[in-house]
Amino acid sequence: MTATSFARACALAAAFTVSSVTAASAGDYSITVDRVALETGDFAKTAIGYNGSSTPTILRFKEGEEVTIAVTNNLAEDTSIHWHGLILPYRQDGVPGISFDGIKPGETFTYRFPIVQSGTYWFHSHTGFQEPDGAYGAIVIEPQGREPFRFDRDYVVQLTDAHPHSGERIMRNLKLMPDYYNRQQRTFLDFLNDSRDQGLSAALADRSAWGEMRMMPTDVEDLQGFTPLINGQDPAQNWTGLFEPGERVRLRFINSSAMTYFDIRIPGLQMTVVQADGNNVQPVTVDELRIAVAETYDVIVRPTEDRAYTVFAESMGRTAFARGTLAPRSGMEAEVPDLREPPLLTMADMGMAHGEHGSMDHGSSGPRAPQPTHTMADGTMMQGMNHGTMDHGAMGHGAMPMAGTDPFYAPGSGLTPQAADGGKFLSYADLKAQKPLYEHRDATREIELRLTGNMERYIWSINDVKYSDAEPIRLQYGERVRFKFVNETMMTHPMHLHGMWSILDVGQGKWNPVKHVVSVAPGTTLYMETEVDAPGEWAFHCHLSYHMDSGMFRKVIVEGGPAGKSADLPAVPQQTTGG
């Protein structure tokens, strides 16, 4: 990074302080992994950060360059960096136990890979719980050609859910008591209110159904009690991006949270979505969008008035919010909205349409009975659903969703997003690729991945088998694989395939959007396809940190390839002592 480009980046960031990234020459970067102090208005703790700061580092690359990134581990334990969403040789992917051994304390590991794409991405540790403890940063890649949309200002808006407890402590508590962090437990007063609104019989039946599943309708977020941050700043610190009235402002939203989905809106401004997960999409204007854990969305806003606007990111469970400001001058603020009423899960989210329980019964001839349990590999039982009952959003290959429905949320779902004031809420069905990345063709085969788990034991799995007991998924170089996700759990899972693109089937054929994370809502089925064009070994997992660690993870092995393709993969990069 040259001095000129660094100065330009700082100018664009305005009030947002970017921690420095040293560079010996164009394409050469250095990162240190350090213990840092994190202070929010709610708590102070020792966290993990890059380059000695709790403010996220931004790496700025240019499409077509070859980058060399020296990562020095100043921690007392191993670390790693995964370049989330980047297409690169598998040895450079940064996943200990799959692509390399990790970076030992006191050592420097040098990554080398070409930049073959542009857009907004991010990077984070793939070791233990270092990512939720603060080891994350942003990647901005400038395209070789012109962008297909105009903007005058450019800001990274990186979200996270900082928690006063360490990741290891959170995992221990969830194992001991899965609702340890649920601060919205249902009470007897809630039962009385339900009886008044629904009738005693319906309220009793509903409570009984949830009791049988050993769940509560408030099981929307596994983790509460966190402080949302924007670019390392809490709501009171108020990250601010400056603009001149009439300018087009590009906001690069990145959700680096351990567990939290955010619903984002800017009261008084509409957002035009132009990129999803780094790939250009046909522009769609919305009032609000939901960003899954690990997703990125680039939007353009055009404030025309000489006033401040609040950037409001509300957790999906309505338990906390991140807040920043767009303003013509530093120090300005706008009204901050109140948190909306917390959503409650319904029987539709569980794959059951209990009409007599007060839930909506869409299209069924009568109430469905609770479905059989599944047996986990360790012999425990998971209260599940018949995975054939809720195929909303599956849309057979190339089919269109039903008119008037959002195919990625179950009918009657307590999680179905609703924009404030009746505005437009972004749906996956709104996303269309601007230019097809691959020639459209039929998949050569289909692989079903049932997303399963045991909330009471806090075990998460794929096809009822946790990672430690699972065989790898084996793919053949050159094939096109169709993955069928069937979510049999009560949680929404953001599924991330490393090293290859995920073509999300929204019924648009060759215009289906290309992503690196696809979010699967409770009780729904979702399809994506992958062109298998990257030899090597890759990770495939839920990006909710504590679900991934508990077993919702697979290794993918891509076999074959053109002569010399595998041999051309770079060897493990140089690792030195005392870096």
Strands 517-520 and 553-559: unpaired
- DSSP secondary structure letters along 368-412: PPPPPPEE-TTS-EE----TTS--TTT--TTPPPPTTS-TTS-TT
Return the pLDDT at 223.
87
Bridge partners, residue 252, by sequence: 156, 298
d(CA 60, CA 27): 10
Let me know: does 312 contact 336? Beta carbons within 8 Å: yes
421 is written with which tokens? Answer: 């004031």
Return the pLDDT at 522.
86
What are the tens digits of pLDDT across the range 546-557? 999 999 999 999
What are the φ/ψ torsions at residue 403 (nearest 5 degrees)? Answer: -60, 140
Return the pLDDT at 341.
86
The topology under which CATH files domain 3-146 is Immunoglobulin-like (2.60.40)
d(CA 279, CA 291): 15
Domains 3-146 and 373-413+436-579 share a fold: yes
The three-state secondary structure class of 7 is: helix
Return the pLDDT at 403.
30
- Ranges in the chain, pLDDT < 50: 1-26, 186-188, 190-191, 353-407, 410-412, 564, 566-579
Return the pLDDT at 397.
31
- The residue among 390, 399, 431 whose CA lies nearest residue 295 is 431
What are the tens digits of pLDDT across the range 502-555? 999 999 999 999 999 999 998 889 999 999 999 999 999 999 999 999 999 999
- Which CATH superfamily groups domain 373-413+436-579? Cupredoxins -  blue copper proteins (2.60.40.420)
The 3 state secondary structure assigned to 277-311 is: CCEEEEEEEECEEEECCCCEEEEEECCCCCCCEEE
For the chain, give every domain's residue range: 3-146, 373-413+436-579
Return the pLDDT at 147.
95
Return the pLDDT at 445.
97
